[in-house]
Every structure is written in C-alpha cells, then in structure tokens.
Structure 1
C-alpha cells in the first residue's frame, strides 16, 4: 500500500492504494471537516459512492472522517448498504478480532472519543476567545469593515480604525437615517466608491453593517453559532467600550434601531407614496384619514371614512402634502429666527416629553391590569380542562355529550386567551421601548432642529424623488405627533417641538 498523504489539522484526506484490477482506478479527493449539513466534500463522496465509483474507502483515522456520533452511524449504515468497506490506516484504529460485536463496540467507542475531543477543543477555544474579548483583544478572523488588525507582542491582536473605511461606514449610517433602503445604499456606495468595489456591496452586507454593535467601540463576539450551529445568540460576548474605536455615536445607533423596529412592525411605513399617512386626522370626527391611489394618471387622495359616507371629506394628496411640508418648514424657521426662542422651544419640547411619558405609564398600568386578568382566566381555564379530563376516567362521557362540548369550548377559549396574552405582551414591550426614549439635551436639541430645518427646505423641492419621500416620512416621525385638518382645509400641526 502506498499512502499518498495523511490528514492534517481540520482536513480529511481519504487514502487510496493501487488496485490489482486495471478496471478499477483509485479516486483521490480532499474533503472539508465541517458539519454534516454543510459538508460539500462529504456530499460529493456520498454521491460517488452511490454511483459505485469505488468499493473500498481508506481513511487515516475515525476523527478525520467525522467527530459526530450521529454522523458516524449514518455513514456506517450507508457504506454497509452500498457494500463499501471502510479501512482506517492509523495503527490502533481497527481491532479486527474474530468477534464482530467487539469490533463494533470498539468502533463506536472511537467515534465517541472523537466527538469528546471535538467538544473539548471547542470549549477550550471558546474560553480562550472569551478571555481575549474581555481584555479588549481580537479573537481571530477578519475584522469588521471599518477596522484593521493591529498585531502586538505575544500574538495580542487589537482592532484599529481604518480612516477610509470608517468614513464609508458613517456614510452608510447617515444614508439609512435619511430614508435610503439597504438596496439603494448598496447602489450608491458602489457608484460613489468604484475603487472600493473589491468588496461586494449587497443588501445583506449593508444590513450587517447597520446591525454591527462594533461601531460603537465594542468588540462583539459569538453573535452567531457559525457553520455548525448557525443560530443567532441573544447574549454575545462583548468587550468594554474602546473609545478610540468608536465610529458611530450612541445617538445615531439608537435612531437606526428605532427605524429598524418601525420597519419591522410596519414594512410599508417608508415606502408608501402617501407622505402624511398616519399623521392626518379629521378635525370633525377625530379619525385618521385614509388613503387611496386612484390609478395611473389620476389623483391620489386622503379621505375620511366616517358615518356620513366614504367620500364626505376628500382632499388632493399632492396639494396637501406640499402645503403642510412648506408650513412646517416656515414655522420652524420663524421660531428660530431669534436666539431667545430656543429656550421657549426647548421647554415646550420637555413638557410634551413629560406628558408623553406620563401617558405611556398610564397605558402600561392599564395593559398590565388587562394582562393579569388574562393570566387569571387562563389559569382557571386550564384548571377546568384538567378537572374535566380527570372526570373522563370516572364517568362514561359517551352518556354525557355535554362534557365533550364543554371540553372543546374550553380548549378553544384557552387558545383565544393565549393569543390575547401574546398581543398584550407585545404591546407592553413596545410601550417599554417608547418609555426608554431619552430626553434630548438642549445642545443636541438645537443641532437637531437646525439640521431638520435645512433638510426640510431642500427636501420640499424634491417631492417626486422616492428617496426624499422616505426621508420626509422619517422627519415627520421625529417631529410631528399629528396634523388636524378640517373640512374647510384649516390645518393645525401638533409638533413635538412647538405648539
């Protein structure tokens, strides 16, 4: 036998010998040592085995073929069914006694030892990486986009900001805050930075960047399980804050989180052609105005669907959008024309914020009472179902059909209560998120208003652009509570900034 090569590290090398028969030629391939579901090389081997391309497989050792007991059993069953002999070449890997049961026991033992070894290695690597992360060191692998590796003594690698890439990361966050979708951002970055096109800018790569907490100055590790266990982890390992590595401020991060949460709950919030949707309120009945697109070449409209009739109150969408956006811009500009208005402006904002938090707390109390009531009903329902089920053993329920009907009704009611419980839990979660929104400092408040004023001024001239329509939706979300409009088209804007 001529052994061509042995397995090294995490690679599996299948070893073949020259066959006596000229009709049978040995097949030589390398296969990656990875999980069963993603082992491309192993799948190719199994495919070749099913085609009958070989009848003997030479493997260096058990742990080179697999380090998973379940995989080893599946492979053994498959090769036995296909009449393929598996020969392990390392001394001590095959017992080869006359007793087949002992051989099988020894084979299973070696497979279990291989899996134990894999688990021990994994645990040690994890502990080592946790130690590195907690000491602000890089655990290994390519750095996040925006950083480069800085290799220190004794293999102590840290992250260092890459100025060029960091500028692109900042631009991606700003574009997202301006209403651009990940697809649009990818296109804009590819167009603006053609020299950087060695990196594949895709929707997923943009989503990955705006979701990466590393840009706040942390080293985050173990967010995902990798190829063997590709499940997102809820509690990844995180270093302490490294100030010099901060690319994105906490304020920008929170704004991005807010928009992502908004889109998750309402996917069409930014893409709707109706800029004032969810903001316009009928001044007569207090209901939110609905929207209707009458088709190509026809007008878009807002209307009040009240008791008087669907089209009792109907207004042209483009006309009212231009009017209100212009009015918001003028109002803010007028109020900020004098420096002393800032204090008045900010005090009004603080008052509205406090009122908002107070209202949210009251709503939370009401939701919690409703939640406790549902839990109590659910417990009673489960108790009654249990008692009826127990009765089934003592009473001939065939004689009492009402017992069956009652049991079915209780089970249906339990399902309804469970759904209601989940709905209230989501409402409580959203309420808590809104309460966590911080009060903006006076300095940040002033910066934000000046920024919003300039943007509204430029945006109002570009109403036909989809990107800028998305941005207006975000700006309205951040500045407007509601817009009251009466049947004679009088407008009252209730803002977070001004009364």
Structure 2
C-alpha cells in the first residue's frame, strides 16, 4: 500500500441503464460490465477496477448516486481512468459531458468510451467527444420534439395527459366527474367566496373533518389555492403552461399555452369561477386584520388621508373605551384626523347596512349602471391607464432612459391590473341587473344577521365577501363601498 503522497489509483467502470432503455434495447448492466472488464484485460491495465453502477437512472440529469460517488473518488485523486461502453451512458447532454470531462482532466483522469474508440487524453479523442456529444444531444431533442408533438395532438383533442385533478376520475384518458370529491370542490369554492374563509381556514376545516386530498394527504394552503385557481373546474383545458425540462419550473409565454374552453365536465360554473379569481387577485384585508376582534379592523379608512384606521384605547384607567385612529396620525403625525369611538362607528356602520338593504331596488341598479362613471367605465379606464403606462415605459426603455428591470416590473404591474379588472369586467357583462341586485340584497341581509349572532371573528369573514372598504368622516358619517364582484 502506498503512502498518502502517492495514493492508489483505480480504473473506474461506470455503467448506467434506465428502466425504459433496458426494456426497449436490452442494454443490461451485466453486459456493460463484462465488455468493460474484457477491454481492461485486452489493454493490459494492471490497476484495480472499481464498479460504479446506476440502475434505473436517466441520463437527463447528472445527479445520480453512483456518479456522485465516482466524483468523490476523483476529487480524492484515486481514479486514473473512467470507462463507459457508450458516450450516452455518462450523459446525453453535451454541456453536462463537457463539464464532467473538464473535471476529469483537472484531476488527470482520462475518459474512455470503448464503442466510439477514443481517449480524452488525446486531441483526436477530445474532438470526437464533442462531435459525438452534439449528435447525442441532437437525437435526444428530436425524440423530445416527437413526444411533444404527440402530446400537443392529444391535448387539442381534449385528452387528459396527467393524473386526474381532485373531483374527477380518469376513464380512457377522459375526465369524468367523481361526485363524492366534486361536492367537496363546490363546498371549498362556497367557503371561500360566500363565507369568507381563507386558504388556511378551509384546509384546517377539511382536515378536522378527516377528508383527505387526492394523494390521501392533509390539505394545505397550497392545495386549496391550486384548487381555487384551476380552470379545469369550469370546463377549460389548459396545458403546456410551464417548462419542466429544467430543475426549476418556469411559466411559459401565453402564446405557447394550449387552452380549450368548454371541453371538460363542469363542476364550478364560469360565473362563480370568475368571481373567485377576482377575489384572489385582491387583498382586501391583511391577514392580521382578519383575526382582529374589532368589527371594522382592516376595512376602515381615514376620510382625511385614506390611510388605514387602527384600533386603540382612550379614557381614564377606570373608564377606558375603544377608539379607531388614523395610522398616519398615530405613527408619524402626517394626518390631522381625530380619533373616533369604536362603538359609535360600528353602530353607524350597521345602521348604514340596514339602510342599504331597505333601499336597494331594481330602480337603483339601472341608474347606477347608466352613470358615465359606472363600474364598467371605471374598469375600462383602469385597464387603458395600465396599457398606456406600459407603452410609455417601452418608449423610455427604447430611448435608453430606464433599465430592463424597470420595464419588466411595469409589465408585471400591467398584467396584474389586466387580470384583476378583466375578471370584474366579465362579471359585470354576464350578470343581468336583476340577478346583480338580488345577489347584493341577499348578501347584505345575511351579513346583518351574521353580525348580530356570530362572534366578531366569524362575522368578519363574511364581511370581507361584501365590503371593499369603509371610509370614516365622522362617528356617524361613513362611506360604505361594496364589493359586488
């Protein structure tokens, strides 16, 4: 045994096969080993042989157990040669191959492929390596393109290509509604839209009732959010949204998506699905405000400066009472608004809701819709303003006045505004005036009853389904802005 300054170096035999390759081509691990050992004997190499076998691993990634183990031996200067039967046993990607070869040469390790008859310690071997690597990568891309073409064709025919979503079963590559799960999907949408529960509250309720998700796991914030945003439930097929060829998935451009409307069994009506998307793009109440024991926490805005109103206490130690005060006044003194007694403000709010409920009629809604600055007009103005602002940013970028990061930030802002307001616009166009009036009236009545009988925390969940914000000008002077979408 040699000392540490001159460690023993081995010949590494690396073999790999993926399950589908072995079934398709009969490329067995035993055959690879025998061929490589016979080559060593024929070459008269006296070094001891070490085996590194990756069974059932694809060449698409270099993150393989035995390949990683081989790298550790190389870093410790314990390998003189690395042998494979064919180039693609090591990797099918030229970039990965060159990266590995660079590391081999850094540690004076030659790379030998017996089928292609080359050794990377020679210039001709390195040239051959690059040529063959390019050919291997080209062939892999051709196979990938053929697979994608087949998947595109199936997707355009409405065939489902992956595991069925919760609420459906898969029969002959077509989705069919599985009612025991579909009823839970409808309930989740109702809990979120009509009862004001958030993702966590919905997940917690389903878990407490012992209702498992598709994979028999507990529900989570992510699984609830994915369910509420999945267009499959309104009958829309969407495929090819993400690029999964790399470790980190990336959202593709809209133009590459396959979107087919009204081709799948419907669990959630389009109107309800659109309303859920509109709500998800808004953030009416901050998470902390939702759990506040004060009725208007998170909803109340200052009539002087528009800042949020926070809760506080006032009065003597023996006669303390709750107050709402402007956050801008409290934190930095930039607003001159006074504080308001919370009980008075909340009482005025309930009175205002009762008046809205009593005065709401079919006569008011058409008048509201016919105004020049109607909700539809406001939505159009917001969309157009976002487009114009982005257009100006593009011109500024072209002129070299701003960086690309500024332009991308503006694009994200524009897309967010378009998504939110387009969903609202669809709702206004689809709902008849009578139906809109009935929805608002029923919501107000339900909300008033809930506030009277439920704990404040539970009543606030329903409050967020109807009230967009409340602006206070005085303890008995409030503006209540409804969220009718």
Fold shared, TM-score > 0.5 on shorter chain? yes
Q: What residue is the counterpart of 1:430 in the other structure?
A: 417
1:485 maps to which residue? Answer: 473
| Counterparts of residues 376-391 of structure 1 (less than 5 Å) | 378=396
Q: 1:295/1:49 Cα in 2 relative to 1: closer, same or farther (>3 Å)?
A: farther
The offset of 1:136, in angstroms, is: 0.8
2-structure distance, mates of 1:418, 1:29: 43
Q: Secondary structure at the match of 1:313?
A: coil
Distance 1:59 1:271, change over 3 A: farther
In the superposition, relative to structure 1, how do residues 350 and 114 fare at CA in structure 2: closer, same or farther (>3 Å)?
same
Corresponding residue number in structure 2 for 1:154: none
| CA contact 2:17–2:55 (8 Å) conserved in 1 | no
2:450 to 454, 458, 480: 458
C-alpha spacing 1:349/1:269, structure 2 compared with 1 (3 Å) = farther
Tell me how far apart the structure 2 counterparts of residues 233 and 417 of structure 1 sit (CA, whole Å).
Answer: 19
Q: 3-state SS of the aligned residue for 2:163?
A: coil
Q: Normalising to structure 1: TM-score of the pair?
A: 0.71
Counterpart for residue 390 of structure 1: none
2:275 corresponds to 1:255: yes
Residue in structure 1 matched with residue 460 of structure 2 by the alignment: 469
Residue 226 of structure 1 pairs with residue 244 of structure 2: yes
The residue number in structure 2 matching 1:334 is 358
- 1:160 maps to what in 2? 176
1:198 matched to 2:216? The reply is: yes
Conserved 8 A contact 1:303-1:314 = yes
Residue 454 of structure 2 aligns to a residue in which SS?
coil
Gaps of 5+ in 1: 152-156, 336-340, 383-413
Matching residue of 2:200: 183
Report the Cα offset of residue 24 of structure 1: 6.0
SS of the equivalent of 1:143 reads coil
Alignment of 1:110-125 (within 5 A): 110-125=132-147
After superposition, residues 178-327 of structure 1 pair within 5 angstroms as 178-194=195-211, 198-228=216-246, 230-235=249-254, 236-242=256-262, 245-263=265-283, 271=290, 273=292, 275=296, 277=298, 279-282=300-303, 286-288=304-306, 290-294=308-312, 301-303=323-325, 313-317=338-342, 320-321=345-346, 323-327=347-351
Equivalent residue number for residue 404 of structure 1: none
* Superposition RMSD in Å: 4.6
Q: Deviations over 1:253-309 (max 9, x none)?
A: 22222222223x986596474635455453xxx543642344899866323568999
Note the residue ranges of structure 2 that are not aligned, 5 or more in a row. Answer: 1-12
Indicate how the Cα distance of structure 1 residues 363 and 147 shifts in structure 2: closer, same or farther if over 3 A, else same: closer
Instruction: Mark the CA change 1:245 to 1:369 in structure 2 (over 3 Å): closer, same or farther.
Output: closer
Secondary structure of the 1:148 match is strand
Q: Does 1:93 align with 2:116?
A: yes
The answer to whether the 8 Å contact 1:348/1:497 transfers is: no
Aligned to 1:355: 374
Q: Deviations over 1:219-269 (max 9, x none)?
A: 221121115262112325335334551122222222222222223x98659
2 CA distance for matches of 1:367 and 1:108?
50
Instruction: Supply the distance in 1 between the matched residues of 2:67 and 2:232 (Cα, whole angstroms).
Output: 36
CA-CA distance at 1:126 after TM superposition:
1.2
Give 2:363's match in structure 1, choosing from 335, 344, 368: 344
The question of whether the paired residues in 2 share the 8 Å contact of 1:218 and 1:241 is answered with yes
User: Structure 1 residues 130, 359: CA separation in 2 closer, same or farther (over 3 Å shift)?
Assistant: closer
Distance in 2 (CA, whole Å) between partners of 1:180 and 1:423 is 32
CA positional deviation for 1:75? 0.8
1:449-498 CA-to-partner distances (Å, cap 9, x unmatched) read: 31452244224533432x64244233202xx6x54532xx2234455599
Offset, 1:114:
1.1
1:71 offset after TM fit, Å?
0.5
Deviations 1:310-345 (A, max 9, x none): 676211336523x2553354235434xxxxx64224
Measured in 1, the distance between the counterparts of 2:220 and 2:404 equals 43
**Residue 83 to residue 111, structure 1, CA distance change in 2 (3 Å):** same
Q: 1:497 to 1:367 in 2, by over 3 A?
A: closer
Structure 1 residues 364 and 76 mapped into 2: Cα distance closer, same or farther (>3 Å)? closer
- Secondary structure of residue in 2 paired with 1:303: strand
Query: Between Structure 1 and Structure 2, how many residues are aligned?
Result: 440
How far off is 1:431 after superposition?
7.4
**TM-score, length-scaled by structure 2:** 0.72
